[in-house]
Structure 1
Amino acid sequence: MCAQKYGWLGTWTTANMPMGETERAKLHLGQETVTVRQVVHLSQGGKMARVTFTNEFGTAPLEISSAHVAFLAAGSKILVNTDKPLLFHGQAGVTIPAGGFAASDAVTQVTPAYGEMVITMVLPAQAIPVVTQHSLGLTATYIVPGERVSDEQFAPPSTPPPGLTAPDVTAPVQQADRKATPIVKQVGPSAATTQGDAAGSPTIVSSYLFLKDVEVDAGKKSKAVVCFGDSITDGMGSTPETDRRYPDQFSGLLSATKHEVNVAVLNAGISGNRLLQDGAGPKASDRFDRDVLSQAGVTHVIVLEGINDIGHGGVTAQQVIDALTALAQRAHAKGLKIFGGTLTPYEGAKYYTPEGEAIRQQVNAFVRANTAFDGVIDFDKATQDPQHPTQFLPKNDHGDHLHPSDLGYTAMASAINVKWFRKK
């Protein structure tokens, strides 16, 4: 089965990196057959879907013996009437070569916009020397022993510990003269890794494992915007299990306007990522093709990168500016629109220095001059304290003075001009 005549549209993606050895050792992946269940928050719907699995950082082939998709009831529980197997060239399983990807065959599955898709796969015992992951999933991934791909539930939904209340995620997502429904999902397990404490009980991690993207059949006017960046795009500091990252909230704003219902929003942020140096994932220039330009249906890019380069030192403003300019040129060469985001305040962060602040100001002046981009998103102005513009407004600060709070991410999403996405 193939996609409809307008091809495929990315509805969810993640940017990957190799898992650290200490974390990999704790999970014992490959030592026995396990089933992995993951939940992804879609941005657009369709009548068909396919899932791409990744072994992009692997050094040995990765075998997936079976995989299913369904939709979420709560926690690890699926709606059983939506459970369907994924096939790979008509076969139940697939072996992905080291450094490679594998897209499933299309599955006829009515996929609602903003739905929670559950992807379950079985990994048989095998050598897995390197795990490809996205470390900051902000949602629970369940790992259980054995082949349990069609189980309705691995563990009941968790509740806040005694004495604690669930986080308040009712802050409205609004832009001037517009109203939108808050994006709220049931609060689930903690983002911290937990080990199963009984036979058959799940290990829960907050990383995505061996997943690259989900695509749906595109419509005539479908388009996708990729949000490309570091931990601030990735959503560090937002409430887990609630989809309060700025790209998620921006997607909610688009859904509230009748002209933008066919726009998918894809998050290609990696916490700790840099423009000019490898570290937390490949540097931006090396992953731009894979994480942005290769996305199905991509028409627009939002880039917010550079604060980690500045914070870690050893770079000049011109080097950051040149790197951003090169990304813009590559996007334009592919016919994409690209919007530059100003770097958000960071005074008080652990790696803040006055010298770094001077570089941030120079980079932001370049972005605001708009000589490289198709538009500017002033994330800095949207989140700063007007009385102390080198700092976050207190309500926008997660607490480390580097990452926004849920309300800070709301302010970022509201700073984006939705009218830009009415035309290609």
Structure 2
Amino acid sequence: MGGALAMVCALLVPSGQALAADSGKAARRHDVVSWGASADRLGEGVAGRGYRLVVHTSVGGDNLRIRLSNAFGDRAVTFGSAYAGLQKSGAELVSGSNKRLTFDGAGSVTVPAGHTVYSDPLPGRLAADSDLVISVHSPDAAGPATGHSMAMATSYVTQGDHTAEESAANWADRTGSWHYLDAVTVRTGASIGAMVALGDSITDGWQSSTDLNRRWPDYLARRLRTSTATTVEGVANEGISGNKVLADGAGQSALNRLDRDVLSHPGVRTVFLFEGINDIKSHTGVTAQDMIDGYREIIERSHDAGLCVVGATVGPFKGWPEWDPAGEAVRQEVNAFIRDSGEFDAVADFDRALRSPYDPERMLPFLDNGDHVHPNDKGMQAMADTVDLASLDCSST
């Protein structure tokens, strides 16, 4: 939010002042994911450390809840306190916005190894497009920590419990990762849904501008907020840099993390699948048919969960050191399946949005950050702009 305190529409307001028109309509409301980040191993937990985590929401609503993850821990971790507030500037919060979160009525919670836990609903309304700040402290963290390493956003670290403070005085150290937090949900009208972007470093936002929310899912979320073509408004970004569809490595594969990173989120209507470049360029012998089989499994499991699936074509990567004609042939065959098979409920042609008309195997230089795989901010926007918003409301088959 920076210093623009006049724009206080994002303030958490008391629930008695919000949504008055919705009184008596509780049965017509549901929880929807407003922000998400894929969980992975994130170094070692440190006892007594606090994290002030800055995230950017998509859909607005009331009854905010957070999800804390110990998915990759080998022991239980206790969070002695957790707060939700709004960013003023850096680690400083908007005065009066920092509210304590509870867990089954208690101010602390212990999350077993391999598990996640949701906070209780926080009374009050959170506007869409908010810079939300979640502050947590663990007195006993140890062993493998869980989080998201490449946030493309600045968060803050401290030693000791300073979660209740709105001042930045005790939050001088910075981090480019999100620790332990993997989802934020709100309650909104039952007609409102969400989509989850399942992807790799391009979805994760690598080479987009840090702290400016210029990943392609961010651009897409901004389009959704003003659209009348769809009632999908929530966007969860479940990209992991280096991720593959078929093999674990940089995070669990898309197949192995689908349940946790996608299907577990509330209010999800659509899975937006944009993965495959890392499988193709890694020279591990993966064939187009291997990729197609992986896509088909994701489609089937998502359909079984009642969700529709949008498939995005794999973008050009000629000029990247691993590019070769054999990998390009696989990419072309995979993209033909995505475009023409009819097995996806809808298609977003990211390849067409990014490629050069003069050399279709290469990204258009105007959209290329320079490494010939990752788009720059303009490329991220071009991808989001090519999505047919109405297709996000498709019905699963």
- Under a length normalisation based on structure 2, what TM-score does the superposition of the two structures give? 0.90
The aligned amino acid for 2:85 is A
Counterpart residue number, 2:35:
12
> Is 1:149 aligned to residue 163 of structure 2?
yes
Classify the secondary structure of the residue corresponding to 1:58.
Answer: coil
Counterpart residue number, 2:317:
346
Q: Distance in 1 between matches of 2:267 and 2:340?
A: 29
Q: Is the 8 A contact 1:4 1:217 kept in 2?
A: no
Match of 2:97 among 61, 65, 82: 82
Q: Is the 8 A contact 1:272 1:280 kept in 2?
A: yes
Match of 2:194 among 224, 234, 241: 224
Q: Distance in 2 between matches of 1:221 and 1:205?
A: 37
Q: After the TM superposition, which residues 384-399 of structure 1 pair with which residues of structure 2 at under 5 Å, given as runs? A: 384-399=355-370
Q: Distance in 1 between matches of 2:298 and 2:235?
A: 19
Counterpart residue number, 1:355:
326
Counterpart residue number, 2:249:
279
> Is 1:91 aligned to residue 114 of structure 2?
no
Q: Distance in 2 between matches of 1:376 and 1:262?
A: 16
Computed over aligned residues only, the root mean square deviation of the Cα atoms, in angstroms, reads 1.7
Match of 2:64 among 49, 64, 88: 49
> Is 1:410 aligned to residue 360 of structure 2?
no
Counterpart residue number, 2:122:
107
Q: Deviations over 1:194-216 (max 9, x none)?
A: xxxxxx56321111100121111
Counterpart residue number, 1:321:
292
Q: Deviations over 1:10-30 (max 9, x none)?
A: 11111111024xxx4xxxx42
Q: Distance in 2 between matches of 1:119 and 1:80?
A: 15
Q: Is the 8 A contact 1:274 1:306 kept in 2?
A: yes
Q: Is the 8 A contact 1:255 1:261 kept in 2?
A: no
Q: Is the 8 A contact 1:144 1:154 kept in 2?
A: no
The aligned amino acid for 2:343 is A
What is the CA-CA distance between 1:331 and the residue it aligns to?
1.2
Q: Deviations over 1:120-148 (max 9, x none)?
A: 01111x25110111111011121112111
> Is 1:72 aligned to residue 95 of structure 2?
no
Q: Distance in 2 between matches of 1:283 and 1:397?
A: 26
Counterpart residue number, 1:305:
275
Q: Distance in 2 between matches of 1:45 and 1:91?
A: 25
Name structure 2 gaps, 5 residues minimum: 1-14, 16-24
Which 4+ residue blocks in structure 1 deviate beyond 6 angstroms? none
Q: Distance in 2 between matches of 1:36 and 1:397?
A: 34
Kindly tell me: are residues 370 and 252 of structure 1, through their superposed partners in 2, closer, same or farther at Cα, counting changes over 3 Å? Answer: farther
The aligned amino acid for 1:91 is A
Kindly tell me: are residues 104 and 264 of structure 1, through their superposed partners in 2, closer, same or farther at Cα, counting changes over 3 Å? Answer: same
Counterpart residue number, 2:239:
269
Kindly tell me: are residues 69 and 201 of structure 1, through their superposed partners in 2, closer, same or farther at Cα, counting changes over 3 Å? Answer: closer
Q: Deviations over 1:342-373 (max 9, x none)?
A: 00011111321221111111101111113310
Counterpart residue number, 1:137:
151
> Is 1:242 aligned to residue 212 of structure 2?
yes
Q: Distance in 1 between matches of 2:186 and 2:133?
A: 15
Counterpart residue number, 1:204:
174
**How many residues get paired?**
370
Counterpart residue number, 2:340:
369
Q: Distance in 1 between matches of 2:391 and 2:171?
A: 48
The aligned amino acid for 1:322 is D
Q: Deviations over 1:161-205 (max 9, x none)?
A: xxxxxxxxxxxxxxxxxxxxxxxxxxxxxxxxxxxxxxx563211
Q: Is the 8 A contact 2:147 2:182 kept in 1?
A: no
What is the CA-CA distance between 1:376 and the residue it aligns to?
1.0
What is the CA-CA distance between 1:290 and the residue it aligns to?
1.1
Match of 2:185 among 215, 221, 230: 215
Q: Is the 8 A contact 2:78 2:141 kept in 1?
A: no
Q: Distance in 1 between matches of 2:117 and 2:235?
A: 22
Kindly tell me: are residues 328 and 123 of structure 1, through their superposed partners in 2, closer, same or farther at Cα, counting changes over 3 Å? Answer: same
Q: After the TM superposition, which residues 151-170 of structure 1 pair with which residues of structure 2 at under 5 Å, given as runs? A: 151-154=165-168
Q: Deviations over 1:103-160 (max 9, x none)?
A: 1011112100011110001111x251101111110111211121111222326xxxxx
Name structure 1 gaps, 5 residues minimum: 156-199
Counterpart residue number, 1:39:
54
Q: Distance in 2 between matches of 1:283 and 1:423?
A: 26
Q: Is the 8 A contact 1:4 1:218 kept in 2?
A: no
Classify the secondary structure of the residue corresponding to 2:360.
Answer: strand
What is the CA-CA distance between 1:220 and the residue it aligns to?
2.4
Classify the secondary structure of the residue corresponding to 2:106.
Answer: coil
Q: Is the 8 A contact 2:201 2:241 kept in 1?
A: yes
Classify the secondary structure of the residue corresponding to 1:120.
Answer: strand
Match of 1:255 among 198, 201, 225: 225
Classify the secondary structure of the residue corresponding to 1:119.
Answer: strand
Q: Distance in 2 between matches of 1:338 and 1:119?
A: 31
- Under a length normalisation based on structure 1, what TM-score does the superposition of the two structures give? 0.84
Classify the secondary structure of the residue corresponding to 1:19.
Answer: strand
Q: Distance in 2 between matches of 1:77 and 1:140?
A: 13
What is the CA-CA distance between 1:299 and the residue it aligns to?
0.6
